[in-house]
Structure 1
Amino acid sequence: MSNDTKQNVFEDAAFNIETSAPDGPKFADELRQRYDAALPDDLPVITELISKYLIMRKRDRGDLVQALDEGTSFLLDGTQWESVQDWFWFSDVKDRVDTFALAWVLGAWRVEETGEIVKLEAEK
Structure 2
Amino acid sequence: MSNETKRDVFEKLEECYAEVCDAYTNETGSPYYCDDEPNYLDEYDAALPDDLPVIPKEVGEYLKRYKLMFTLFGFLRDAVSRIDTPLDDLNQTKYHWIANNQNTFARAWALGVWRVEETGEIVKLEEEK
**Structure-1-length-normalised TM-score:** 0.74
Please state if 1:34 is matched with 2:40: no
Which of the pair has more CA radius of gyration?
A: 2
Residue 81 of structure 1 deviates from its aligned partner by 4.3
Deviation for aligned residue 1:100: 0.1
Q: Counterpart of 1:45?
A: 54
Letter in 1 for 2:113: A
Give the equivalent residue in structure 1 for 2:92: 82
Instruction: Give, in whole Å, the separation in 2 of the partners of 1:97 and 1:121.
Output: 22
The answer as to whether partners of 1:44 and 1:99 remain within 8 angstroms in 2 is yes
| Pairwise CA distance, 1:24 | 7.6
Offset of residue 80 of structure 1: 6.5
Map 1:1-124 onto structure 2 (within 5 A). Answer: 1-21=1-21, 22=31, 23=33, 27=37, 30-58=39-67, 60-70=68-78, 71=81, 81-89=91-99, 93=100, 96-124=101-129
- Which runs of structure 1 show a deviation greater than 6 angstroms over 4 or more consecutive aligned residues? none
Unaligned 5+ runs, structure 1: 73-77
Q: How many correspondences in the alignment? A: 112
Whole-angstrom CA distance in 2 between matches of 1:80 and 1:57:
17
Going from structure 1 to structure 2, the CA distance change for 1:119 and 1:79 (only over 3 Å counts) comes to farther
5+ long unaligned stretches in structure 2:
22-30, 83-87
| CA distance in 2: counterparts of 1:52 and 1:63, whole angstroms | 16
Instruction: Report the AA paired with residue 15 of structure 2.
Output: F
Q: Percent identity?
A: 44
Contact kept? 2:53, 2:115, Cα under 8 Å: yes
